[in-house]
Structure 1
């Protein structure tokens, strides 16, 4: 497949963790400068992440993002002024199925996101400590998840046992077929969201909002939730450290996030073409 897109790219949608961000969740100056150059060239740039929108605002500001961003794997699209453009909630039936399956696993921390909050039923475990550092805020401990089931943004099974999450993904998919999206946003996170809460739908919605044909869009990512946008973008770019199954669904592969591969790809495949 040719490295160069067949149409000039006018909109870039990028994942955050494992893509734009280094492992310590920082943005390099190289990445900040490259995104600035992209925007100065007249190309729209935005973020799509499994994170809640409120945990994306600092990075969006640092990158000068001035168009809507997509949180919760595309489940919630938020305008620059903080107003909600689109929001998709997980059906209660699917939420109950996922919660029942995950709660049976002693090696899994179960999180629920609703009303803009991160909720859990037990005090913080090791995965919560890690996530708190990345999100910039901590969870709220609640007695029960049931009062929130009519407005769930995302359910997460978090574990250092990657093989267990792979097995849980395979078990859950047929149980919620047609009701929910199930994907590993990172090797240690298994996300459950509404059917339309995926990055492919987010890319379609944002491109239409900006008046950009899909053939003139590019998507960059590394996780199992990123091929959804790869499949609709005119140019798809996988990070060097991504799993092979993710790389195989992209147009091109760039360097790892440690190597600032996203910025490198923007320069090579988008800016140079302009």
Structure 2
């Protein structure tokens, strides 16, 4: 099969555990692009800390950001599509986080907000530095002019498991998913990487069987199952591997390079 679009997750997939895209992987992605394959980064990150990876590779086109909640055109920064949330329905979740001491941030397509930037320290500040983002102070809902597309909590694995268990007992108006060991995301109930990739493929006139997707975590399952070829990284949980059509090497062993050579460049 000749694949015309490749959707790549970023953290844990395109990047190694040091948050670095190796020269080997970068050159292979660029080679695939030079052969006419459209490259789309499909990530839990926002566009502002995803687009620089596209620009570093000299790529244009689109990024699917915030786990599918916002699709953005690289060159213009235009929002092609976004799933806006009912922000007032987030109030009980914010109250829970404040009561339990769980860190959270609120995301619009291009903005990220926390309760108090001045109090960010330790692992929380280090996390934002790793992801090349520094949030702003959260305004009131009335002052926030752009739609909220994602609400994220961050903490130790055991703490996130406890939060996930608690919220699973609620009647949720949102799509809740684990986007990493240390993260829980709430989004519009229709927002997912798979839905966003499906919309983008239709916009580009592509069938699912012309799409290849590579990812490593639970938030990638919907895009792996939408694509004609879904590839899990070796560092993926067993459930993600089970949802994929194939498994490649880990993110620390240039698994994206290996998969693109095997399925796109051979």
**TM-score, normalised by the number of residues in structure 1:** 0.88
Q: Alpha-carbon deviation of 1:210?
A: 1.5
Q: Alpha-carbon deviation of 1:149?
A: 9.3
Contact 1:110 1:157 in 2 (8 A): yes
Between the aligned partners of 2:200 and 2:51, the Cα distance in structure 1 is 17
Q: Deviations over 1:48-92 (max 9, x none)?
A: 111111111210112333211111111111112111100111223
Contact 1:114 1:148 in 2 (8 A): no
> Aligned pair 1:29/2:23, yes or no?
yes
Q: Deviations over 1:187-218 (max 9, x none)?
A: 01111111232100111011112111011111
Q: Alpha-carbon deviation of 1:256?
A: 1.1
Q: Match of 1:17, SS?
A: coil
Query: Which of residues 175, 192, 201 is equivalent to 2:195?
Result: 201
Aligned equivalent of 2:204: 210
Q: Alpha-carbon deviation of 1:153?
A: 1.7
Distance change in 2, residues 1:156/1:245 (3 Å): same
Between the aligned partners of 2:241 and 2:182, the Cα distance in structure 1 is 18
Distance change in 2, residues 1:46/1:147 (3 Å): same
Aligned equivalent of 1:103: 98
Contact 2:47 2:109 in 1 (8 A): no
Query: Which of residues 136, 150, 172 is equivalent to 1:154?
Result: 150
> Aligned pair 1:172/2:167, yes or no?
yes
Aligned equivalent of 2:221: 227
Q: Alpha-carbon deviation of 1:43?
A: 1.2
Q: Alpha-carbon deviation of 1:33?
A: 0.9
Q: Match of 2:179, SS?
A: strand
Between the aligned partners of 2:223 and 2:139, the Cα distance in structure 1 is 36
Contact 1:238 1:246 in 2 (8 A): yes
Contact 1:17 1:49 in 2 (8 A): yes
Distance change in 2, residues 1:251/1:149 (3 Å): farther
Residue ranges of structure 1 left out of the alignment (5+ in a row) = 1-6
Distance change in 2, residues 1:195/1:127 (3 Å): farther
Between the aligned partners of 2:145 and 2:242, the Cα distance in structure 1 is 36
Say how many residue pairs are matched: 263
Between the aligned partners of 2:142 and 2:127, the Cα distance in structure 1 is 23
Q: Deviations over 1:208-256 (max 9, x none)?
A: 1211101111111112210011121111111111112222111111111
Q: Alpha-carbon deviation of 1:170?
A: 3.2
**TM-score, normalised by the number of residues in structure 2:** 0.91
Q: Alpha-carbon deviation of 1:97?
A: 3.4
Q: Deviations over 1:116-166 (max 9, x none)?
A: 222111321334322322332312134756754972121111002x12212
Distance change in 2, residues 1:143/1:41 (3 Å): closer
Residue ranges of structure 2 left out of the alignment (5+ in a row) = none
